[in-house]
A and B are shown apart, each in its own frame.
Chain A
């Protein structure tokens, strides 16, 4: 029995590393869903925009890394705000499927935009993270993956703290449970909508930079969002905890599938998992079930 435990450990660590990014992006998604009840299929494309703006600032305009990151953050937030105001707000009250299709359209627009401005070829982001390989015990982890996880974990923790203790967080949770009641309590519901999308956009931009740093950027980066979709369905569309656990879980599963079955099996396994979840427990681990009344 010479099973390569070290290899398994290394793969698992890499999976957890990606899982952290899935968790972060899942958090963005849950934020949007909780506040505005929108299933945002374009989340992966919002990541992509963040990565490309960073690319434009850091490479195109040769700005220092920290400034480029800031710029991408601002751009991401701006994108979220603009999308919410122009595409989501007018759809208020429409069926969730219609709004979902709006996000499908949005994804298309963003992909086209990126291809138009930067071309369809993949690009590499400049190295801005420490390059030395990281060792955990005997296990090797790519430095980017490790630091990416650290960044994701820090951001997730920050977001959780902010929403726990900041009034805006309470306003968000109130709006999430009942828009009308929140309105009548004096909560500025449209402002909650805008803020949630802006915040999610900014966070997604950072996630995009990290994802781009690890795997390069391209106009098909948005497919990352499909894995995130599985994550949030697994965890429950409106559950923060679900997004975190789901993110790590899906990251692990994809890493194992990729290592032991082959790279092309990663997405396949993820999607088969999605189908299983939808059939067995469609509201996810921690999501709230919707009850139909006759």
Chain B
């Protein structure tokens, strides 16, 4: 049971975590993340990297859709912008990886800002549909601007070079992806302790009142689009370094749906929700692979892809109907139980 933990300074009240126990758990998680690569095999390292990339991108989408209320089905397209930026820069200039990643973020951010320009007039559902259109236009550019993107064949990406070391294994690239993801998530958590995060939430809840209260709507909507696509761009760049090849089919609309599902399942409008949702959605296909592998019929592998598609859809529908606040809400309820024990919730 949790007692005697009331904050005693304003700074403490504004902190991300409430109690010393929570900070201890976070430190333990940090240690686990540090020790993890030394304790597991290639498969789990691969998964960890993939999860981290997805967490970064889902957090970005959460900023835009969960916190600012601007539904976007264009996350994959922005990741694609980032991935192609990295691939193109590596192919032409061989610039350092970190610089490429920043460039990836910036290019994606520009794309996001462009898509966001109509967001003052085009609202809600119509904006979501506009982002679908943007996705298609992006896909067209990826497939047809052969000079830069290599057309339908795509581009191959050399391994990222960090301090002269080639990050060509999952173990090595883990040390690039995970710290970056942690930074990005921490940044997002910080954002919502400040006026900018509050402005985003105000826009989601009641944008015309927000305007009259002093929040310039277009500027902040563009900021939200820009920031979330920056995240997507960096995630896309990491994706390119991880998978080492980028094609127009790497970032289909289905991937945007994947990320939307991730934040719905995880819990829109909470940082934890973005993390939980991304982890869950990345692990679901693996779990399905396991289950399908056990099933006693041949051609089980062929069944995997359609079952995965169906499960994505079912998860979206199921969570929206039964638990619209997602896994984060379930987590909160479990925590409340332990905080209040032995009292009832």
Whether A97 contacts B312 by the Cβ 8 Å rule is no
Among A49-57, A189-197, A263-271, the one that faces the other chain is A263-271
State whether the Cβ of A105 lies closer than 8 Å to any Cβ in chain B: yes
CB–CB B136/A294 < 8 A: no
- A115 near B320 with CB under 8 A, answer no
Q: Which residues of A contact B73 (CB under 8 A)?
A: 104
Contact residues, B95-136 vs A (CB, 8 A): 118, 121-122, 124-126, 128-130, 132-134, 136
State in angstroms the CA–CA spacing of A278 and B208 once bound together: 20
A-contact bits for B63-102, CB 8 A (1 contact / 0 none): 0000000010100000000000000000000000000000
Which residues of the other chain, A, contact B125 by a CB distance below 8 angstroms? 39, 96-97, 100
- Of A74-82, A86-94, A172-180, the one contacting chain B is A86-94
Q: How far is the CA of A102 from the CA of B137 in the complex (A)?
A: 24
Residue of A39, A101, A105, A233 ringed by the most chain B CB atoms within 10 A: A105
Query: Given A105-B317, A271-B136, is A229 in contact with B310 using a C-beta cutoff of 8 Å?
Result: no
Whether B129 contacts A274 by the Cβ 8 Å rule is: yes
Whether a CB of chain B sits under 8 angstroms from the CB of A136 is: no
A282 interface contact, C-beta 8 A: yes
Query: Which of A102, A271, A294 is in CB contact (< 8 Å) with B209?
Result: A294
User: How close is A248's CB to chain B, nearest CB, in angstroms?
Assistant: 21
Given the complex of chains A and B, what is the CA–CA distance between A113 and B303 in angstroms? 10
Which residues of A are in contact with B by a Cβ distance under 8 Å? 39, 87, 90-91, 94, 96-98, 100-102, 104-116, 119-120, 226, 229, 233, 264, 267-268, 271-272, 274-275, 278-279, 282, 292, 294
Q: Are B136 and A268 in contact (CB under 8 A)?
A: yes
The 5 closest A-B pairs by CB, nearest first: A108-B313, A112-B310, A105-B316, A112-B309, A115-B306
- Assess A116 versus B307: contact at CB under 8 Å? Given A102-B317, A271-B137: yes
- Range class of the B interface residue count: 35 or more
Chain A proximity of B300: nearest CB distance (Å): 12
Min CB gap B340→A, angstroms: 29
* Interface: B264 (CB within 8 A): yes
Contact present for A278 and B118 (CB under 8 Å): yes
B201 within 8 A of A: no
* Among B144, B212, B254, B314, contact of A105 (Cβ-Cβ < 8 Å): B314
In the complex, what's the smallest C-beta–C-beta distance from B249 to chain A, in angstroms? 12
B309 near A282 (CB under 8 angstroms)? no
Q: Which residues of A contact B324 (CB under 8 A)?
A: 94, 98
B321 within 8 A of A: yes
Instruction: Point out the residues of chain A lying under 8 angstroms from B208, CB to CB.
Output: 292, 294
**CB-CB < 8 A to B209: which residues of A?**
294
Does B308 sit within 8 A of A, measured CB to CB?
Answer: yes
Report Cα–Cα, A87/B321, bound state, in Å: 7
- Supply 5 A–B pairs (Cβ within 8 Å), ascending by A: A94-B324, A105-B314, A111-B306, A112-B308, A112-B310
B260 at the interface (CB under 8 A from A): yes
From A108, A114, A275, A292, B312 is in contact (CB under 8 Å) with A108
